[in-house]
Structure 1
Amino acid sequence: MVGLFEFPEPLEGLTRPKRGAIVFAHSKQTAVTGMDLEEGSRIRPDTGQTYKVLVVDDSPTVQLQLRAQLATVGLDVRAVDTGKAAIEVALSWRPECVLLDYFLPDITGEEVVEKIRRFDADVQIVLITGQAARKPARLMMKRLDIQGYHDKTNGLETVMIWVDAALKGHAQKMVILRQTRCLEVALEVSREIHQLLPVPELFGLGLRGMQRILSAWTPGLGTDGALIWADEGGTLSLRRAIGKFAGCARVVDLPDHLRVVADTSVDSSEVVRSETAIAIPLMAVHRPQGVFAFELDPSANPPTDHLLLFSQQVSTAIENNLLFEMATIDTLTGLVSRAHLMRRTVEWLKISTRKNEPFSLIFLDVDRLKPINDRFGHAAGDVALATIGATLIDCIRDVDIAGRYGGDEFVVLLPSATPTVAGTVAGRICRALRDRTIHIDDEAVSLTASIGFGGLCEIPLRKWMRSNPKEDEWNRLAAFLIGLVDDATYIAKQAGGNQVAGLPKDLDVGKELLEFLHWSDGEHSGRFAVVQRITSSDAET
């Protein structure tokens, strides 16, 4: 039996003094989000969408009463009279709240709840019954996944309280879910940025991470943004840009409103928000060194705390990278330092031995650097060394490691490369250096180098490795191998320089390593790929 709501004349309003509650009145309502709504406006969550309420009751009178009162307080209302129709509308329309009669012509309200929960875990369901005494509220709410249980005999006022509570619960749940999505994005990107990546890569990852957090909060938010860097003198430079700003090359190319918030954020070290933009400071080495700036819709409410938290992650990654580079990078050439080079040589010797893969090296000695220093000064010599460092980086693979071994000597590690491949790379470096010149006092100075290469197609150290050698033994082995390749460089130097040379044909590098270690595995001595010395003219081909 379907009961009717018992209430006097339509309510003029329902006022609840509790903090944060919705005030249902014709003149003004205060939404759960804290927004003040003028007369005639609708209650809206942070997404900007109107709250939708589905009324499910087979009584036309009850439907009419509920629709009238809910529409009065600014809600979008639909009504159906069967359980099957309720399920179909809930699936297609996705309401935030369902007012569901327990007794329906086709199926019970409990069955409707069960079917809706299969595709929507977030909708707030208030079950309505005229026989609440037989099914107590606490028992029903505990047994079913519902957020309210209304007794029809209590009148319409109580229904509105249930709707108020349901919509607040839905809004709070949506905020939690959005915060969760933002944190998941931040955690995912943080795993990437804390891998000691180069700072330029961190810039790109950081900007894309910020954009993904904004989009996770509100789809489509933060599509247009930029990372602006500030040097120690306060000069701003554009390092990365996305969206419609991707084609910008300088800060002055960005719109005024974006530059203003960025400038203010750098000066204040705080998040700055204008009507159409937001800037999040990027702190590095305990001082503001840049900002993430995004264009926003005036109605947007971005997750400032999450953005600031992620910015701190990017800042930490940049600081760690700078500390790592201070400890491992030769500042003059941009290559790794000798100490780090030796560590990486040992590391790749172990990997190549374990995987039975080839491993090769290149040793480079600059030709006639002393005359450049003597004639033009050591500043000119520094320019020459920096140019050689840049040339090496241009000529090798990403996996290869180039380092300054000392003075005017350089070493390149080529993991998984045979000596033949090393010879090809050495020839490429020789030609690239020959094509480069440096200009000193309006005079063009050419650069050349003597380059040696060598290595093994397989490393005969697996049995020796199983003896658990100490780290010092690995270090001595790495230095010995570099020394062997240096012998090839000496061959090129003795032949006049500006050329490439491999180790002598009859030199068995594997056997040399084992003899150096005073070790024999009884089976393998290592196969050195025989490569003939490449002369200067050969290297040009």
Structure 2
Amino acid sequence: MARIRNTVKASGHTLLVVDDDDSLRATICRLLEVDGHEVLSAANGEEAIQVCRSRQVHLMLLDFFMPGMTGEDVVRAVRTFDTNVQIVLQTGYASEKPPRQMLRELEIQGYHDKSEGPDKLLVWVDAALKTYRHVQALHASRSGLEYILKAAPELHRLQPLDDLLRGILLQLQGLLGFSSAMVATLAPVEEITPLSGVVLTTELHDFTLRIGTGRFDQAEWAALSPEEQALIRSTVEHGELHLGTQVVLPLRVGERILGAVMVDHPHPGSGDLHLLEIFATQAAVAIDNTRLYNLATTDDLTGLMNKRAWLARLEETTQLATRHALPTSVLMLDLDHFKAVNDTYGHLVGDRVLATVSGCLVRHLRRSDVAGRYGGEELVVLLPHTPAAGALIIAERLRSAIAELAFISGGQAVSLTVSVGVASLLSNEGQVPEDVALDLLSRADQALYQAKHQGRNRVMQSADAAAR
């Protein structure tokens, strides 16, 4: 075990970095040292467990794939004697379990993809340490849970909303002693096709079980008893708290009610109700904020990020990349002969083709990549922490996957290919961040033009990168 001594003002937190890669482990330790943390390190799972037994570790950054004990094995072993340490798993292997499955199955607080770089790791560290401080407050007072609940909007930026709410609900469950709970929300109106002239009352409106614990875990609306469904509908319709064998609270944002929280908790005290009400309020605000954010940033047809939001993300990413010398690339894609598809089969078929291509794009990208619709049949992809060589591999993978898609319209096969332009961040001394982003996009557009000019259905790299 190596110990890294800090020379800056101490943060008061003890962190443990566990990774079998000596160089990477040392780099992460130095990165954390800058913030004044006491940093310990371990090269394998057995050594990490010994450190956790001998020291009070606040946060462990744990590599998932290591010889001997895996990260998953270490988590299960540590949780047998320490339930307080915050654990963020780190991984760089696509073959490992999906992040949402890991968060659901293991008692961890985060899941960091190493390809997302140091900035995202530091955000996870800050959030996990904040949660650690809040958890410590819980041991001193039940009212300490309010800190965690009120941190939900901030933590939502780091992980899917449903995972976040489920984690908070589980902490409430452990604190208050109820056995099961769930959050049900009204299905979006556009997903419902009522009869002409029918007003959507709660009796006709569909509900979605967003999250559940205990007997509600992975349950669906149809699995609830008629009495439970009626309780939820009544709570949503009248906006009033129900107390009984189950406690049901409305998810309210202003005058609107988005759904309800149901808890199996027959004898709640006033303090319990207070915490549940805080949870219902924070959950409603977070759900509504997510809906508004998606409306503002998502293209309706493709489900990808819209042009304005994507350009904003591009500028943010290039600012970080130029500041920290991180490789970054952009792909610009254009569907070949798409006008002929619209002219031959109609715009409805064209829309369906574009939506299908966009779905294919998302399936073949990494979690850290950001796809958007730039305009018409032009799509764009932002590839953070990706040099030119890696961007070419991804671009070719996308081109090949789209060429293999099968479209059928009126019994006829519709073939489609795509041309791709690739550009990567260059040394940009003297350029302001806005110019760096525009230059990167412009070079990808020029490469796309070359791909079109040379026969379509191909990937072309910007001339400056190809010459390097």
The TM-score range, normalised by the shorter chain, is 0.5 to 0.7
The equivalent of 1:262 in structure 2 is 232
Kindly state the Cα deviation for residue 439 of structure 1 after the two structures are TM-superposed.
3.7
| Equivalent in 156, 160, 167 of residue 201 of structure 1 | 160
The equivalent of 2:280 in structure 1 is 311
Whether the aligned pair in 2 keeps the contact of 1:364 and 1:450 (CA below 8 Å) is yes
The equivalent of 2:343 in structure 1 is 374
Give a deviation string over 1:352-405, Cα, whole Å, max 9, x none.
111112111111001121122122322222222222222222222222211111
Distance in 2 (CA, whole Å) between partners of 1:180 and 1:273 is: 28
Residues 108-147 of structure 1 aligned to structure 2 (within 5 Å):
none
CA RMSD, 1 decimal? 2.8
Would the alpha carbon gap of residues 326 and 251 (structure 1) be closer, same or farther in structure 2, given more than 3 Å must change? Answer: closer
Kindly state the Cα deviation for residue 286 of structure 1 after the two structures are TM-superposed.
4.1
Distance in 2 (CA, whole Å) between partners of 1:196 and 1:373 is: 40
Give a deviation string over 1:413-436, Cα, whole Å, max 9, x none.
111101111011111211221232
Give a deviation string over 1:17-44, Cα, whole Å, max 9, x none.
xxxxxxxxxxxxxxxxxxxxxxxxxxxx
Paired letter, 1:262:
I
Question: Are 1:461 and 2:421 matched, yes or no?
Answer: no
Give a deviation string over 1:508-528, Cα, whole Å, max 9, x none.
xxxxxxxxxxxxxxxxxxxx4
Would the alpha carbon gap of residues 499 and 454 (structure 1) be closer, same or farther in structure 2, given more than 3 Å must change? Answer: same
Paired letter, 2:171:
R
Distance in 1 (CA, whole Å) between partners of 2:314 and 2:256 is: 36
Question: Are 1:251 and 2:221 matched, yes or no?
Answer: yes
TM-score normalised to the size of structure 1? Answer: 0.53
The equivalent of 1:227 in structure 2 is 183
Kindly state the Cα deviation for residue 261 of structure 1 after the two structures are TM-superposed.
2.3
Paired letter, 1:235:
D
- Say which SS state the counterpart of residue 366 (structure 2) adopts: coil
Distance in 1 (CA, whole Å) between partners of 2:227 and 2:142 is: 26
Would the alpha carbon gap of residues 178 and 478 (structure 1) be closer, same or farther in structure 2, given more than 3 Å must change? Answer: closer
Would the alpha carbon gap of residues 435 and 269 (structure 1) be closer, same or farther in structure 2, given more than 3 Å must change? Answer: farther
Question: Are 1:413 and 2:382 matched, yes or no?
Answer: yes
Whether the aligned pair in 2 keeps the contact of 1:193 and 1:202 (CA below 8 Å) is no
Would the alpha carbon gap of residues 367 and 283 (structure 1) be closer, same or farther in structure 2, given more than 3 Å must change? Answer: farther
Question: Are 1:362 and 2:331 matched, yes or no?
Answer: yes
The equivalent of 1:499 in structure 2 is 458
Question: Are 1:435 and 2:404 matched, yes or no?
Answer: yes
| Equivalent in 189, 212, 217 of residue 241 of structure 1 | 212
Would the alpha carbon gap of residues 477 and 178 (structure 1) be closer, same or farther in structure 2, given more than 3 Å must change? Answer: closer
Distance in 2 (CA, whole Å) between partners of 1:202 and 1:439 is: 36
Give a deviation string over 1:125-167, Cα, whole Å, max 9, x none.
xxxxxxxxxxxxxxxxxxxxxxxxxxxxxxxxxxxxxxxxxxx
Whether the aligned pair in 2 keeps the contact of 1:196 and 1:321 (CA below 8 Å) is no
Paired letter, 1:401:
V
The equivalent of 1:121 in structure 2 is none
Would the alpha carbon gap of residues 201 and 269 (structure 1) be closer, same or farther in structure 2, given more than 3 Å must change? Answer: farther
Whether the aligned pair in 1 keeps the contact of 2:333 and 2:380 (CA below 8 Å) is yes
Distance in 2 (CA, whole Å) between partners of 1:286 and 1:391 is: 40
Give a deviation string over 1:162-215, Cα, whole Å, max 9, x none.
xxxxxxxxxxxxxxx9898454224224324335649x9323322432342243
- Say which SS state the counterpart of residue 148 (structure 2) adopts: helix
The equivalent of 1:188 in structure 2 is 148
| Equivalent in 300, 312, 331 of residue 300 of structure 2 | 331
Would the alpha carbon gap of residues 285 and 475 (structure 1) be closer, same or farther in structure 2, given more than 3 Å must change? Answer: farther
Question: Are 1:212 and 2:171 matched, yes or no?
Answer: yes
| Equivalent in 329, 347, 353 of residue 322 of structure 2 | 353
Whether the aligned pair in 2 keeps the contact of 1:330 and 1:336 (CA below 8 Å) is yes
- Say which SS state the counterpart of residue 272 (structure 1) adopts: coil
Paired letter, 1:212:
Q
The equivalent of 1:132 in structure 2 is none
The equivalent of 2:53 in structure 1 is none
The equivalent of 1:273 in structure 2 is 243
* Structure 1: stretches of 5+ with no match in the other structure: 1-176, 508-527, 532-541
Whether the aligned pair in 2 keeps the contact of 1:261 and 1:278 (CA below 8 Å) is no
State the identity as a percent: 27
Kindly state the Cα deviation for residue 349 of structure 1 after the two structures are TM-superposed.
1.6
Kindly state the Cα deviation for residue 478 of structure 1 after the two structures are TM-superposed.
2.1
Whether the aligned pair in 2 keeps the contact of 1:225 and 1:292 (CA below 8 Å) is yes
Distance in 2 (CA, whole Å) between partners of 1:448 and 1:184 is: 56
- Say which SS state the counterpart of residue 459 (structure 2) adopts: strand
Distance in 2 (CA, whole Å) between partners of 1:183 and 1:370 is: 61
Would the alpha carbon gap of residues 356 and 295 (structure 1) be closer, same or farther in structure 2, given more than 3 Å must change? Answer: same
- Say which SS state the counterpart of residue 273 (structure 1) adopts: coil
Distance in 2 (CA, whole Å) between partners of 1:374 and 1:487 is: 27
Give a deviation string over 1:333-355, Cα, whole Å, max 9, x none.
12222222222222222211111
- Say which SS state the counterpart of residue 478 (structure 1) adopts: helix
Distance in 2 (CA, whole Å) between partners of 1:265 and 1:179 is: 33
Q: Which has the larger radius of gyration?
A: 1
Distance in 1 (CA, whole Å) between partners of 2:450 and 2:170 is: 56
Distance in 1 (CA, whole Å) between partners of 2:377 and 2:341 is: 12
Distance in 2 (CA, whole Å) between partners of 1:284 and 1:434 is: 46
Distance in 2 (CA, whole Å) between partners of 1:285 and 1:382 is: 37
TM-score normalised to the size of structure 2? Answer: 0.61
The equivalent of 1:425 in structure 2 is 394
Would the alpha carbon gap of residues 286 and 391 (structure 1) be closer, same or farther in structure 2, given more than 3 Å must change? Answer: farther
- Say which SS state the counterpart of residue 151 (structure 2) adopts: helix
Paired letter, 2:151:
R
Distance in 2 (CA, whole Å) between partners of 1:357 and 1:476 is: 17
Kindly state the Cα deviation for residue 256 of structure 1 after the two structures are TM-superposed.
4.3
Kindly state the Cα deviation for residue 412 of structure 1 after the two structures are TM-superposed.
0.8
Whether the aligned pair in 2 keeps the contact of 1:186 and 1:213 (CA below 8 Å) is no
Would the alpha carbon gap of residues 257 and 328 (structure 1) be closer, same or farther in structure 2, given more than 3 Å must change? Answer: same
Would the alpha carbon gap of residues 201 and 265 (structure 1) be closer, same or farther in structure 2, given more than 3 Å must change? Answer: farther
Whether the aligned pair in 1 keeps the contact of 2:318 and 2:436 (CA below 8 Å) is no
Give a deviation string over 1:449-469, Cα, whole Å, max 9, x none.
11121214xx4234x26xxx4
Kindly state the Cα deviation for residue 240 of structure 1 after the two structures are TM-superposed.
2.2
Distance in 2 (CA, whole Å) between partners of 1:455 and 1:179 is: 50
Question: Are 1:478 and 2:437 matched, yes or no?
Answer: yes
Question: Are 1:397 and 2:356 matched, yes or no?
Answer: no
